[in-house]
Amino acid sequence: MSAGLAVDDAAWASAWRTRAPLDKLALCGGLVVCALVLPAWPGSVLVALTAVVLALGPARVPARTFGRAVRWPLAFVATSALTAVVSVDGGGLGWAPGAAARAGDLAGHSVAGGAAVLLLATTTPMSDLLPALRRLRVPAAVVEVASVTYRLLFVLLGSLRTIREAQADRMGYSSVRRSYRSSGALAAAVLTRSFDRARRMQEGLAGRGMETGLRVLPEALPSSPAFLAASAAGLAALLTVGWVA
Amino acid sequence: MHIAEGFLPAPHAIGWTVAAAPFVVHGARAVVREVREHPESTLLLGAAGAFTFVLSAIKLPSVTGSSSHPTGTGAGAVLFRPPVMALLGTVVLLFQALLLAHGGLTTLGANAFAFAVVGPWAGYGAYRLARALGAGLLPGVFVALALADLATYVTTSLQLALAFPDAASGFAGAAVKFLGVFALTQVPLAVAEGLLGVLLFRVLTVSARPDLERLGLLAPAPAEERG
């Protein structure tokens, strides 16, 4: 596998990649808010279905990527929802009143919200979202630091995999003791490499006359009035059905 | 493990966002000032953010045989100070939410408070205390990383307990439950992260001494000879 992250790869390959980031942010933000405020039944179910259908349908996100990405959050949701509905009473454990309904409620909100965020994540690469943050008045320096973080991430993840593979080939993880030594050396190697990369990039940019900041030409991704109108209509319908039902 | 999207009720999500905001804004100001004075810091700070993200991708060999991941914010707090980590930690959380589906957007405030504010400050406080009491760099790093890891999970547990008080015993009962599930199980992993930190900094004192000196962690002129 490449050094990429599955969700990021999906975002670059998505059919919605060329849509305006703020359009997608509006749609997914709306879905997230719906997931949060609508009652779990039928609101959460409808939001989750909408997000999944949009992702797998028009946005053409691979179902496998979408499914694999929700595994971790689901583990958290299952553990926490279960803990929330177990009642501690005088040293004994038991189910709180209405435990099943409450756990379902929690899981519903969470799965719906998670699906909505994942719709944004699997259709919009970070490098499109970060300039959009700039338009939401986040300071330029902060957006730049975040952009460098994003771009260095893949270089470092690549280094991490290569070094770990080399260590494993030299029996670096054959015992707990060795695993610790190898992990420490791995973390140190990644840190020194990241500093080294940053320094070399800095020197290269300084040599090209960088004074104020990293300027890149933003790709023109025009907003679509039709997409925005459809999003607004869909969200309004979700809110109406969610409240009335 | 971060609180998943949509798990916290809206008032809690908003409340924790408001609580974390001043720290993150303070960190952002520190970063803006740093970048204005030294434009070259952009790349170094970006590298620090990427390192924190990647550190959380290293599998920690745990005593029980299963593996887990370090939080990575303790090392950042010692290297780059907590205000900067408040911002970098939040950026890392945003990336984890959007690249790995760990955490979420409405829970970003709550997670930032635990992961980017309480963790780094607890770790850095422990580091400064240990150094003030005469401990060396490595013992200081151990307590910093272990405590930053543990403090993050204790905070997450308390946030969940506040949002979901127990039907019979209220907040206290819920705190016991969530601490038992999320913080108690984290103790061996916090120790493991502390150990990883010691090994990391031991390598760094040999291979990246100028960096540690520049960050003020080691005295510029090496007094002792290592051999």
User: Would you say residue B36 lies in a domain?
Assistant: yes
Q: Which two tokens stand for residue B193?
A: 């992260």
Say whether B75 and A83 touch across the interface (CB within 8 A): no
Q: Are A119 and A235 in contact (CB under 8 A)?
A: no
Q: Give the minimum alpha-carbon distance from A94 to chain B in angstroms, rounded to a whole number.
A: 10
Count up the domains in chain A and report the number. 2
How far apart are alpha carbons B187 and B149 in whole angstroms?
Answer: 9
Same domain for A12 and A74, yes or no, is: yes
The angle subtended at Cα A153 by Cα A210 and Cα B35, nearest 5°, is 35
Residues of B in contact with A204 (CB under 8 A): none
Q: Give the minimum alpha-carbon distance from A200 to chain B in angstroms, rounded to a whole number.
A: 10
Residues with Cβ within 8 Å of A131's Cβ and at least 6 positions away in sequence, in order, are: A21, A143, A218
Residues of B in contact with A206 (CB under 8 A): 40
How far apart are alpha carbons A52 and A70 in whole angstroms?
Answer: 11
Q: What's the pLDDT tens digit per position in A100-146?
A: 888 888 999 999 999 999 999 999 999 889 888 888 888 988 998 99
Q: Give the minimum alpha-carbon distance from B117 to chain A in angstroms, rounded to a whole number.
A: 17
B24-42: average pLDDT: 87
Q: Give the minimum alpha-carbon distance from B129 to chain A in angstroms, rounded to a whole number.
A: 24
Check residue A90 and give left, alpha or beta (phi > 0: left; psi -120 to 50: alpha): left
Q: B80: closest CA among B46, B39, B129?
A: B46
Residues of B in contact with A152 (CB under 8 A): 46-47, 49-50
User: Would you say residue A130 lies in a domain?
Assistant: no
User: Would you say residue A212 lies in a domain?
Assistant: no
Q: How many CB pairs under 8 A join A and B?
A: 257
Q: Which amino acid is at A122?
A: T
pLDDT for residue B227 is more than 50: no
Same domain for A149 and A103, yes or no, is: no
Same domain for A45 and A159, yes or no, is: no
Residues of A in contact with B43 (CB under 8 A): 148, 198-199, 201-202, 205
- In this complex, the residue of A87, A150, A199 whose CB is nearest that of residue B167 is A87
The CATH number given to whatever domain includes residue B26 is: 1.10.1760.20
Same domain for A66 and A19, yes or no, is: yes
Q: Which two tokens stand for residue B206?
A: 């040999």
User: Would you say residue B19 lies in a domain?
Assistant: yes
Structural domain of residue A238, as residue ranges? 6-124+220-244
Same domain for A69 and A96, yes or no, is: yes
- In this complex, the residue of A37, A70, A149 whose CB is nearest that of residue B49 is A149
User: Would you say residue A132 lies in a domain?
Assistant: no
Say whether B35 and A185 touch across the interface (CB within 8 A): no
Same domain for A31 and A95, yes or no, is: yes
How far apart are alpha carbons B226 and B179 in whole angstroms?
Answer: 42
Same domain for A105 and A152, yes or no, is: no
User: Would you say residue A133 lies in a domain?
Assistant: no
Same domain for A97 and A162, yes or no, is: no
Same domain for A145 and A119, yes or no, is: no
Nearest CA in chain B to A214: B42
Residues of B in contact with A129 (CB under 8 A): 98
Specify the 3-state DSSP secondary structure of A170.
Answer: coil
User: Would you say residue B138 lies in a domain?
Assistant: yes
Q: What's the pLDDT tens digit per position in B105-117?
A: 999 999 999 999 9
pLDDT higher for B28 or B211? Answer: B28
User: Which residue bears the tokens 């797998």?
Assistant: A56
Specify the 3-state DSSP secondary structure of A161.
Answer: helix
Say whether A148 and B43 touch across the interface (CB within 8 A): yes
pLDDT for residue B47 is more than 90: no
User: Would you say residue B225 lies in a domain?
Assistant: no
User: Would you say residue B95 lies in a domain?
Assistant: yes
Residues of A in contact with B42 (CB under 8 A): 141, 144-145, 148, 213-214
- The pTM of the full predicted model, rounded to 2 decimals, is 0.91
Q: Which amino acid is at A226?
A: A
Q: What are phi and psi of B61, to 5 degrees?
A: -70, 115
Confidence of residue B169 (pLDDT cuts 50, 70, 90): confident
Q: B78: closest CA among B116, B121, B117?
A: B121
How far does CA A137 lie from the centroid of its chain?
21
How far apart are alpha carbons A32 and A47 in whole angstroms?
Answer: 8
Rg (CA), chain A: 23
Q: Give the minimum alpha-carbon distance from B222 to chain A in angstroms, rounded to a whole number.
A: 20
Q: Which of B32, B40, B51 to mutate to test the interface with A (most CBs of A within 10 A)?
A: B51
Any CB–CB contact under 8 A between A25 and chain B?
no
Same domain for A37 and A108, yes or no, is: yes
Alpha helices by DSSP H, chain B: 10-37, 41-55, 73-80, 82-99, 108-112, 119-132, 137-163, 170-178, 187-207, 209-214
How far apart are alpha carbons A169 and B83 in whole angstroms?
Answer: 40
The confidence score (pLDDT) of residue A102 equals 86
Strands B67-68 and A86-89: unpaired
Count up the domains in chain B and report the number. 1
Same domain for A17 and A107, yes or no, is: yes
Find the Cα–Cα–Cα–Cα dihedral A78, A31, A118, A61, rounded to 10°.
130
Q: Are A165 and A119 in contact (CB under 8 A)?
A: no
Confidence of residue A167 (pLDDT cuts 50, 70, 90): very high
User: Which residue bears the tokens 């999944």?
Assistant: A52
User: Would you say residue B227 lies in a domain?
Assistant: no
- In this complex, the residue of A80, A89, A145 whose CB is nearest that of residue B42 is A145
Q: What's the pLDDT tens digit per position in A5-62?
A: 899 999 999 999 999 999 999 999 999 999 999 988 888 999 999 999 999 999 999 9
Confidence of residue A1 (pLDDT cuts 50, 70, 90): very low
How far apart are alpha carbons B106 and B111 in whole angstroms?
Answer: 10
How far apart are alpha carbons A23 and A27 in whole angstroms?
Answer: 6
Binding-face residues of A in 172-211 toward B, CB within 8 A: 173, 176, 179-181, 183-192, 194-195, 197-199, 201-202, 205-206, 210-211
Residues with Cβ within 8 Å of B180's Cβ and at least 6 positions away in sequence, in order, are: none
Residues of B in contact with A112 (CB under 8 A): 6
Share of chain B above pLDDT 90, in %: 48
Q: What does A58-121 look like in DSSP terms, one character per residue?
A: TT---HHHHHHHTHHHHHHHHHHHHHHHEEEETTEEEEPTTHHHHHHHHHHHHHHHHHHHHHHH
Say whether A87 and B166 touch across the interface (CB within 8 A): yes
Q: Give the minimum alpha-carbon distance from A180 to chain B in angstroms, rounded to a whole number.
A: 7
How far apart are alpha carbons B69 and B186 in whole angstroms?
Answer: 11
Q: What are phi and psi of B56, to 5 degrees?
A: -75, -5
Q: Dihedral of CA A227/A232/A237/A243: which sign?
A: positive
Structural domain of residue B163, as residue ranges? 10-214
pLDDT for residue B226 is more than 60: no
User: Would you say residue B149 lies in a domain?
Assistant: yes
Residues of B in contact with A149 (CB under 8 A): 46-47, 49-50, 53, 88, 91-92, 95
The confidence score (pLDDT) of residue A3 equals 53
The confidence score (pLDDT) of residue B65 equals 43
Same domain for A55 and A149, yes or no, is: no
Say whether B95 and A83 touch across the interface (CB within 8 A): no
